[in-house]
Amino acid sequence: MAGVTTTNAAIVAVLSLLVLSVCFAEDYDTSLAKSYKSGWLPAKATWYGAPTGAGPDDNGGACGFKNVNKYPFSAMISCGNEPLFQGGAGCGSCYQIRCVRANNPACSGQPRTVVITDMNYYPVARYHFDLSGTAFGAMALGGQNDKLRHAGIIDMQFRRVPCNFPGMKVTFFILPGANPNYFPVVPAYGNRDGAVVKMDVMRSRNGRPTGSWEAMYRSWGTVFRLDTREPLQGPLSLRITSDSGMTRIANNIIPYGWKGGSSYWSNVQF
């Protein structure tokens, strides 16, 4: 009898792993989440951080963005599980979210826009938005923000929409610790797709661009990095490509004498 029980347990364990593997594979199907034409899709929503806060205490997240409590993100942000985060390629993407009364009596049904700025490591559904307290409460009827947040987890709907940050240009943040041989950069505040999937750098010599682009690689989140033996002195030009293939070039955006921990506002936008 003990042998039969052990065998049955082993079979159950194997079947469980197979089911988990299938679910895991489905979770990595990013095509619907990336599309602007999918319409409203079902998801689960949770929230974290302070009830009216921006999520992480350091106002950052796994994408590398900082100051997400300030304009233009304005705390309307979310962690996304893999179909939304996409290994960092979804960072900066914008989504409308909503919940309706059938989901919770406190829901308004009005769409609100959030930006993916972080990774959700423990998804509870195929699509899971772990929202800031501010964003979660924004789906509520007037005066019922706290009531909705008390639900903890709700069914909701989402759809991808173009980002729109009025008055903003693409800004490049150089991470602290950068030096002429280690060049990590975060592109932020892109309109339309929002997500940058490729970035290249061009050096200058005698004040003129060399005409040769060097590919940077995704270090983590939306941090693109170049490690080089030949120091990057500046001025430097940066070329960014969005996930739909749009390209913009910020000529000589990084000046001579650049430093880690600095940000540089460009004159380009998608």
Q: Would the pLDDT of 86 be above 80?
A: yes
pLDDT score, position 205: 83
Tell me, what DSSP letter sits at residue 94? E
Sequential DSSP letters for 32-90 = HHH-SSS--EEEEEEEESSTTS-SSTTS--TT----TTSTTTTT-EEEE-HHHHGGGTT
Answer whether 0.85 is exceeded by the pTM: yes
- 198: β partners: 241
Say whether domain 171-265 belongs to CATH 2.60.40.760: yes
Domain 26-161 fold is Barwin-like endoglucanases (2.40.40)
* Residue-wise pLDDT tens digits, 109-143: 999 999 999 999 999 999 999 999 999 999 999 99
Kindly list the domain boundaries of the chain, sorted by start residue: 26-161, 171-265
* Residue-wise pLDDT tens digits, 2-23: 333 334 433 333 333 333 333 3
Which helix H or strand E contains 14, and what residues bound it? Answer: helix 2-27
Of 8-12, 195-199, 246-250, minimum mean pLDDT range: 8-12
